[in-house]
């Protein structure tokens, strides 16, 4: 009955059911949905016991759930740079969060590879909805989304501005669009908070994402839907002690919890409802079987809303949160849903964000530029693990509070180095110690040495992001 009613409803709404069968191009649509600061353990399918995520859990049951997929970095901007460029953090353009002091080094440059540009050149309609963080008006304008392959953009350019979920303006392409929220500004990026909120940014982004899919369904499309929740409103947290600013607390309204806990849980459940709307919309249009949907997060969970991490255990069994190079800061929930093509199941394939570029290009049947470090995981999606190429190493670095490096070798051995390029690598065996509590470098010196040697050659020189191994000194 449901399959009969959906096409009728689509006709009533003026939509085009079954468009996958009507268009000549049979290459799949590609949707990458990314939450902001959502942890591995925030979803029921990854062990969450308190927060409700029924639609994402259903997506996991109907699709492929990855258990060892990694973000590009442990903080926002470099993780997104890895995703867009297909290059790990030691090769990509943006290697850290630059902040307000030097926005130009947090912007993509002309000539940088970008998955959107490659797909656009291959005939895909491309859109970015939500948070960008890799370019802005002014000194960072080289990184504006439409300069890097996006036909359409609606959202936040500046990641500081994106802290404010009830903002008074957003960007549509290069035009500033006013919103009716009255904001108490903090700084000059657009950050702040609203005392009389009306429009919630991610509600607007969800509507925009659905509209883009509707109007683009007659040709292959790529939608990069970059949510801004459950990231905290850091400025609001500092001012009033609660950074979890949501329209309502949903099913957690009556819980005997502090407001930041209610808001944090409500944001995660709100994401769940957004994803459910998109999956339903794809079925309504009759294009679900020709659309690959990925759901993930940009880095590990935060504690910046002043909520209780112990209540929710967002890192699951792993140690660390956002800004950690242990797996709690970089191992992500990762779901792939493509009815009729991706079989339901669970995979331990080890991948990371740089792999999206070659994967998308392979599905679009187009070539990738030179210099990518990612590996396509199409064989894993199609249930052909025997054909899947694997990474020898994955790489990360972190520039705040003294430079640090990390690498994962053979999907099992995590090495972390800080304090200097010749310091001993701390080694963890993830196969037997997922929480990375015990340094086993002394028991496996050959593996520690192999990772240490790799860390010395993993990154290409980039003057804007040269390592500063010692923490900056505070002024007297």
> Within a domain: residue 350?
yes
User: Do 367 and 422 lie in a common domain?
Assistant: no
User: Do 289 and 308 lie in a common domain?
Assistant: yes
Q: Which residues does residue 350 pair with via DSSP β-bridges, in sequence order? A: 68
Neighbours of 346 (CB within 10 A): 10
Taking each helix axis as running N to C, give the angle between helix 54-62 and helix 259-285, from 0 to 180 degrees, rounded to the nearest 10: 50
Instruction: Check if the beta carbon of residue 424 is closer than 8 Å to that of residue 441.
Output: yes
**CATH assignment of the domain containing 447:** 3.30.1120.10
**What's the total number of domains in the chain?**
2
**CATH assignment of the domain containing 277:** 3.40.720.10
> Within a domain: residue 449?
yes
User: Do 120 and 151 lie in a common domain?
Assistant: yes
pLDDT in tens, the chain (476 residues): 444 444 445 544 445 555 555 687 999 999 999 999 999 999 999 999 999 999 999 999 999 999 999 999 999 999 999 999 999 999 999 999 997 789 999 999 999 999 999 999 999 999 999 999 999 999 999 999 999 999 999 999 999 999 999 999 999 999 999 999 999 999 888 899 998 999 999 999 999 999 999 999 999 999 999 999 999 999 999 999 999 999 999 999 999 999 999 999 999 999 999 999 999 999 999 999 999 999 999 999 999 999 999 999 999 999 999 999 999 999 999 999 999 999 999 999 999 999 999 999 999 999 999 999 999 999 999 999 999 999 999 999 999 999 999 999 999 999 999 999 999 999 999 999 999 999 999 999 999 999 999 999 999 999 999 999 988 766 54
Domain limits at 97? Answer: 2-392
Q: What sections of 25-158 are H helices per DSSP?
A: 54-62, 76-85, 115-121
pLDDT value, residue 7: 46
> Within a domain: residue 471?
no
For 164, the token pair is 């404010």
* Strand segments (E) across 135-262: 152-156, 169-172, 175-178, 182-185, 192-196, 221-226
For 127, the token pair is 């859109």
> Within a domain: residue 475?
no
Instruction: Check if the beta carbon of residue 357 is closer than 8 Å to that of residue 367.
Output: no
User: What CA–CA distance (Å, rounded) separates 464 from 96?
Assistant: 10
> Is the Cα torsion angle 141, 228, 334, 28 positive or negative in sign?
negative
* Phi, psi for 383 (deg, rounded to 5): 75, 30
User: Do 350 and 412 lie in a common domain?
Assistant: no
Residues 418-457, buried b or exposed e (16+ Cβ, 10 A)?
beeeeebbbbbbbeeebbbeebbbeeeeebbebbbebbee
User: Do 161 and 201 lie in a common domain?
Assistant: yes
User: Do 276 and 356 lie in a common domain?
Assistant: yes
> Within a domain: residue 452?
yes
User: Do 302 and 348 lie in a common domain?
Assistant: yes
Of 392, 417, 452, the position where a domain reaches its end is 392
Of 367, 392, 417, the position where a domain reaches its end is 392
User: Do 166 and 51 lie in a common domain?
Assistant: yes
User: Do 226 and 296 lie in a common domain?
Assistant: yes
Of 361, 392, 423, the position where a domain reaches its end is 392
> Within a domain: residue 17?
yes
Taking each helix axis as running N to C, give the angle between helix 2-12 and helix 259-285, from 0 to 180 degrees, rounded to the nearest 10: 90
Q: Are strands 125-131 and 64-70 parallel, antiparallel or unpaired?
A: unpaired
User: Do 305 and 453 lie in a common domain?
Assistant: no
> Within a domain: residue 474?
no
User: What CA–CA distance (Å, rounded) separates 38 from 43?
Assistant: 9
> Within a domain: residue 470?
no
User: Do 150 and 120 lie in a common domain?
Assistant: yes
User: Do 42 and 116 lie in a common domain?
Assistant: yes
């Amino acid at each position: 009955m449901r399959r009969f009613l959906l096409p009728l409803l689509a006709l009533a709404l003026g939509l085009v059911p079954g468009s996958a069968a009507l268009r000549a191009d049979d290459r799949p649509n590609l949707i990458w949905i990314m939450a902001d600061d959502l942890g591995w353990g925030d979803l029921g399918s990854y062990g969450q016991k308190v927060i409700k995520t029924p639609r994402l859990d259903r997506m996991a049951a109907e699709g492929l759930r990855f258990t060892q997929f990694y973000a590009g970095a442990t903080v926002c901007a470099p993780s997104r740079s890895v995703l867009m460029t297909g290059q790990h953090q030691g090769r990509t353009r943006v290697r850290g969060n630059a902040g307000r002091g030097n926005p130009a080094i947090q912007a993509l440059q002309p000539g940088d590879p970008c998955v959107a540009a490659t797909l656009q050149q291959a005939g895909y309609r491309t859109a970015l909805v939500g948070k960008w963080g890799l370019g802005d008006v002014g000194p960072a304008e080289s990184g504006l989304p439409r300069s890097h392959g996006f036909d359409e953009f609606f959202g936040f350019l500046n990641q500081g501005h994106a802290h404010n979920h009830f903002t008074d303006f957003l960007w549509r392409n290069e035009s500033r669009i006013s919103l009716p929220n009255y904001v108490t500004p903090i700084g000059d990026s657009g950050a702040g908070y609203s005392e009389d909120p009306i429009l919630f940014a991610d509600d607007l982004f969800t509507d925009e994402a659905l509209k883009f899919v509707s109007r683009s369904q007659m040709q292959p499309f790529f939608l990069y839907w970059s949510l801004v929740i459950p990231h905290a409103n850091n400025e609001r947290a500092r001012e009033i002690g609660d950074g979890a600013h949501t329209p309502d607390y949903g099913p957690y309204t009556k819980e005997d919890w502090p407001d930041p806990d209610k808001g944090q849980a409500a944001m995660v459940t709100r994401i769940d409802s957004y994803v459910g709307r998109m999956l339903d919309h794809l079925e309504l249009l009759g294009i679900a079987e020709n659309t690959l949907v990925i759901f993930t997060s940009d880095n590990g969970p935060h504690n910046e809303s002043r909520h209780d991490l112990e209540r929710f255990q967002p890192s699951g069994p792993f140690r660390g949160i956002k800004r950690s190079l242990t797996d709690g800061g970089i191992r992500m929930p990762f779901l792939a849903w493509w009815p009729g093509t991706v079989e339901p199941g669970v995979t331990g394939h080890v991948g990371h964000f740089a792999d999206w570029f070659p994967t998308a290009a392979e599905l679009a049947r187009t070539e990738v530029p030179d210099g990518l470090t990612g590996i396509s995981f199409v064989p894993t999606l199609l249930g052909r693990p025997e054909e899947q190429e694997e990474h020898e190493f994955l790489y990360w670095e972190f520039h705040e509070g003294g430079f640090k490096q990390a690498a994962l070798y053979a999907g099992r051995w995590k090495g972390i180095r800080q304090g200097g390029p010749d310091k001993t690598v701390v080694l963890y065996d993830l196969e037997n110690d997922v929480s990375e509590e015990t340094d086993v470098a002394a028991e496996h010196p050959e593996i520690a040495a192999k990772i240490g040697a790799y860390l010395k050659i993993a990154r290409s020189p980039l003057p804007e992001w040269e390592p500063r191994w010692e923490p900056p000194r505070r002024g007297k």
